[in-house]
Structure 1
Amino acid sequence: MTRQEEKQQLRATIRQMEAALAPGYLQNSDAAIAAHLLAMPEYQSAGTIFCFVGTGREIDTRPILCHALNSGKTVCAPLCTTPGQMELRRITALEELRPGKFHIPEPPADAPCVAVDEVDLAILPCLSCNHLGQRLGRGGGYYDRFLAHYRGGTVLLCRELLIREEIPLEPHDYPVPWVLTERGLYEDGSPARLG
């Protein structure tokens, strides 16, 4: 079995697990993850953040986005442009987001671009990951391409019940230094203190 096939198999397994998660668990883990993120000194000191917009059973990032906007941070969200490519576009209110490709809320096409090197903290999604920050995405390659050019602080958000220590990796897969679950923060695989 190729690495790509292993990834596809693991994606199918994780999607089944994700679909079976209780609504109460989703709500509680969303709230805990958001609270942990807001307590990170790296978030508090960041002037510009890049954050995905959670949809469906993904982690709800709206409280994070709202807090960042209300705190006067520069906030950018992904705008999918072509297959596998996204741009970082500035938003000033959640109401600006509109369903785009894959029905994911996105900034409008005329929202200002933000350069990758302007971002102080990137908050990224994953389908699953391990505590070392090796991520399994949804297969589009959008965030792999972002990570290939980004050198700032990066945190992966993942529900603890979807963590898998065995993640099939390919050469283009970049590990992320911080993983945040409802249990707390992990840095390079070890539990880390928040705040």
Structure 2
Amino acid sequence: MTIAEEKQELRLRVRAQERALSPRYKEESDAAIADRVRALPDYREAHTVFSFFGTKREINTRPILEDALRAGKRLCLPLCTEVPGIMELRAVTSLDDLVPGVFGILEPSASCPILTPDEVDFAVLPCLSCGRAGRRLGQGGGYYDRFLTAYRGSAVLLCREMLLHEDIPVEPHDMPVPWVVTEKGLYEDGVPARLE
């Protein structure tokens, strides 16, 4: 079996696991994860935050997005382009700037200003699953791996503890993320870390 086939098999397993999670667990883990992200010193000190808008199958990032805007941070979200695997970082001043995009996910309108990865201080990234060491399993489009090749700031992966897998298959283009936030805590390079 190739690594790509292993990834696809794991995606199917993780999606089935996610569907089996209770609504109460998802709601509680969403709230705990958002609280942990907002408590991170790198998030609090960031001037520009990049984040995704979580779908019903992902972590609810709305509290993070609202907090960033309330705190006066510059907030940007991904806008998927017509070129497969390519997303643009678009700044928003309100969640009202978001419209249904290519995949039906809320994203910035095309009139929102474009930012470069160099302008971002802190990135909040999605995954289907990941390991505590930051090996990420995404949807398979390569959008975030391309972003990570150009990004040099702080970044966190958001994942429910019950969806963690330490055996994530990786290919040379897969970019690990040093911090993983779950409802149970923060992991830095695979080791439980404390917020200072």
Shorter-chain TM range is over 0.9
- In the aligned structure 1, how far is the partner of 2:68 from the partner of 2:163? 26
| Residue 96 of structure 1, CA deviation | 1.1
Instruction: Check conservation: 1:26, 1:57, Cα contact below 8 A.
Output: no
SS in 1 for 2:114: coil
- In the aligned structure 2, how far is the partner of 1:57 from the partner of 1:21? 10
- In the aligned structure 2, how far is the partner of 1:156 from the partner of 1:2? 25
Q: TM-score, normalised by structure 1?
A: 0.99
CA deviation vs aligned residue, 1:45-95 (integer Å, no higher than 9, x gap): 000000011012210000000000000000000000121000000001111
- In the aligned structure 1, how far is the partner of 2:129 from the partner of 2:35? 20
Share of identical aligned residues, percent?
Answer: 62
Amino acid at match of 1:133: G
The aligned counterpart of 1:77 is 77
Give ranges in structure 1 of 5+ residues lacking alignment: none
Are positions 1:35 and 2:48 aligned together?
no
SS in 2 for 1:185: strand
The aligned counterpart of 1:141 is 142
- Structure 1 runs (4+) deviating above 3 angstroms are none
- C-alpha root-mean-square deviation of aligned residues, in Å? 0.6
SS in 1 for 2:79: strand
| Residue 115 of structure 1, CA deviation | 1.2
- Aligned ranges 1:46-195 → 2 under 5 Å: 46-81=46-81, 82-195=83-196
Instruction: Check conservation: 1:38, 1:64, Cα contact below 8 A.
Output: yes
- In the aligned structure 1, how far is the partner of 2:117 from the partner of 2:136? 20
- In the aligned structure 1, how far is the partner of 2:9 from the partner of 2:122? 31
Amino acid at match of 1:142: Y
| Residue 154 of structure 1, CA deviation | 0.7
| Residue 188 of structure 1, CA deviation | 0.5
